[in-house]
Each structure stands twice: as C-alpha cells, then as structure tokens.
Amino acid sequence: MVLDRSDSPLRFTELKALVDASSTTVSRRIKELEDNRLIVRSMNPESPQNNLYTLSKDGRDLSPIMQRLFDWAEEWKD
C-alpha cells in the first residue's frame, strides 16, 4: 500500500502521483478503501478543501500481508 510508506498523511494529489492513475480511478479506490475501513480521511486544517488520507489500524495490520503477497507475485510472475 502506498500509504504505509508515508510517515505523514497524504493529499489526494500526492496519492494520485504515487500510483500513476487517473483521478477517477484514484477516487474510486479511495472510496472502496474507506468503505472497508482500511484508510481514514481527515480534513486538512490548512485548507478545508484538501482531505488527508492515512491508513487505519486495520490498514496498518493488513499492510505487511499485502507486501508479502506482492513479493510472492513478483517472484513467480515469469
């Protein structure tokens, strides 16, 4: 997960740049992750129009499992 590599919350534009996907795709994935309680959205105190995203406790717990799955897939993709 992209958010587990960040020490601080990320804005939408930062997430979008990290995953190199369209705004629509990123918006949909964020909504899915929020609905599944894997990320938490909060308001940016500096600019109410910019939300900040962080991993929830469940998201942090899932992160090492997902990383192992990605590593396994990389190892066996050829």
Question: Tens of pLDDT along 25-77?
Answer: 999 999 999 999 999 999 877 776 788 999 999 999 998 898 899 899 999 88
Domains of the chain: 3-76 (1.10.10.10)
Q: What is the pTM of this model?
A: 0.77
Q: To which residue do tokens 């964020």 refer?
A: 30
Q: From start to end of 1-78, where are the E strands?
A: 10-11, 39-44, 47-55
10-11 β-sheet, strand order: 10-11, 47-55, 39-44
